[in-house]
Structure 1
C-alpha cells in the first residue's frame, strides 16, 4: 500500500495541490495530512482527490473545528491501522513513543526519518516552503517485510520535483 504524506501546508494551497497531485500520479492509495492545514481549501483538495484520507489538527488549525464533520479531521495522537500496520498520526512531536509500527508527525518543518527498534518515525517536512526555499512531502510504501519512503522536494519557482528513496527492513511479528 502507498500512503501519501503531507504536512505544514499553512496557506499554500497551490503547493499543497502540487504535492497531492504528485502523490496521486505516483500511485498513492491513501493520504495523510500531519497538521497545520490552515486553509480549508487544502481539506477540499484532499476530499476531492477521491482517496481515503485522515488529517490531524495542528497548532494553527483551531479555526478548522467548524468543518470537523465535513472532513476526516482527527485529534492527536490518532491511532489507526492500514495494511496490517499500526499508525500514530500527530502534528506536535509530543507522543514520540514507539507504540505503533509507524509514527507520523510534523510541526518542526524539517524532513526526518528514523527507524528505531521496529518503529518508523517520519516527518515529511513542510509543503509551505516557509523555513527553506523548497517544498517537501513523502510517500510511504508498506510491503510485507519493508517500508519504502520516498522524499519529494521541489525548489521554489522550479518545475522539477526530486525524489530520494529510503528502505527499512521490517522484522516479522
Structure 2
C-alpha cells in the first residue's frame, strides 16, 4: 500500500492539492496529514480524490469544531483524530503527531512501525533503533504549504517495503493559481 504523508499545509490549497493529485497518480491509497491544516475548509480540495485522509491538528489549529464536523459527514473520507492518532494501514501500526520531540519519544517505544510528525517545516526521514531492539521509521515530511523559505514537500511511502521518498511541489503552482 502506498500512502502520501504531509504536514503543515497552512491553508495553501494549490500546493496541498498538487501534492495529493501527484500522490494519487503514483497510486497512493491514503493521505496522512500531520497537523497545521488551519482552516478546515482547506481540506475540501481533497474531496475529488476519494482517498481516506487521516488528519490531526497542530499548533495552528484554526476551527477545531468545524474540523470535527467535517470529519463526521457521512459522505466524506476525512478522519479527524484530534491531537494525535494511532492508525493501522496495510498491517502497519502508524502514529501521527505534530511535534517532532513527541514523535521521537513514540518511535523509541517500539510500538509503532512508522511515526509521522511535522511542525519544524524540515523534511527528515530516519530509522531509529527503539528500546525493543527493532527499527521504527520516523518521517517528517516538511511543509506542503512551503511555509517561509522551506520548499513545499511531502513523502510517498510504500508500506509493504517500508520505503520512503521525498517529493517537492513547485511554489509556481501557488503563483499560477493566484492569477
Q: TM-score, normalising length from structure 2? A: 0.80
Counterpart pick for 1:137 among 138, 145, 154: 154
Q: Does the alignment pair 1:149 with 2:164?
A: yes
- Note if contact 2:57-2:82 (Cα within 8 Å) is conserved in structure 1: yes
- Name stretches of at least 5 consecutive residues in structure 2 with no aligned partner: 72-78, 130-134, 175-179
Q: What do residues 152-173 of structure 1 show as CA deviations (whole Å, max 9, x unaligned)?
A: 01343279xxxxxxxxxxxxxx
- Note if contact 2:143-2:154 (Cα within 8 Å) is conserved in structure 1: yes
Number of the residue aligned with 1:12: 12
Distance 2:86 2:48 in 1: 24
Runs (4+) off by over 4 Å: none
Number of the residue aligned with 1:48: 48
Q: Which has the higher strand share?
A: 1
Moved more, 82-91 or 68-77: 68-77
Secondary structure at the counterpart of residue 115 of structure 1? strand
Alignment of 1:99-138 (within 5 A): 99-117=111-129, 118-132=135-149, 134-138=151-155
Moved more, 125-134 or 108-117: 125-134
- Name stretches of at least 5 consecutive residues in structure 1 with no aligned partner: 160-173
Counterpart pick for 1:74 among 81, 90, 95: 81
| Greater relative contact order, per chain length (Cα 8 Å cut-off, separation 6+) | 2
Distance 1:67 1:34 in 2: 14
Distance 1:20 1:100 in 2: 25
- Note if contact 1:13-1:41 (Cα within 8 Å) is conserved in structure 2: no
Q: Which has the higher helix share?
A: 2
Q: TM-score, normalising length from structure 1? A: 0.83
Distance 2:150 2:86 in 1: 33
Number of the residue aligned with 1:171: none
Displacement of 1:133: 5.2
Distance 1:126 1:32 in 2: 13
- Note if contact 1:133-1:155 (Cα within 8 Å) is conserved in structure 2: no
Distance 1:49 1:149 in 2: 22
